[in-house]
Amino acid sequence: MKIAVTSQDRKTVTPHAGMCRRFWVYEIEGPEVRGREMLELPKEQSLHESHGEGPHPLDAVAVLITTGMGRGLADRLTRRGIRALVTNETDPARAVEAFVAGRLATLAPQCREGHGHSHSRPHD
């Protein structure tokens, strides 16, 4: 399984998943992380610009972890078969490890109006 983590600064889990162009992509085998690589997208392939038409480099991932995205983007990712998760965890490796262990605390995507919903709960 592959897990993408938004990381515009290459150090932390960053918000604005739709505008993000840098993602750490983790290769997971069973309970272990087998590798990690940086995926860098041109602006026109950001999720905000691509609008879900045609193939996308993130189509290979099963999960996308971020610290911020809107409900519309979360719904588009779900339609592409990508599980979209919002968390307060800012360390990419810890976020992935917590997800794999079944204990990543997640939040609801933000409303269009920008209201954050703090329904903190572990992922299913």
pLDDT digits (tens, 9 = 90+) for 105-124: 999 998 443 434 444 444 44
Domain edges within the chain: 2-122
CA 39 to chain centre: 12
Question: What is the C-alpha separation between 69 and 81, in angstroms, rounded?
Answer: 17
Q: Which amino acid is at 87?
A: T
As a whole number of Å, the end-to-end CA separation of the chain is 16
Asked if 13 and 66 count as a contact pair (C-beta separation under 8 A), the reply is yes
Average pLDDT, the chain: 89
Whether the model clears a pTM of 0.85, i.e. scores above it, the answer is: yes
For 65-91, how does the pLDDT look when each residue is reduced to its tens digit (9 = 90+)?
A: 999 999 999 999 999 999 999 999 999
**2-122: CATH homologous superfamily?**
Dinitrogenase iron-molybdenum cofactor biosynthesis domain (3.30.420.130)
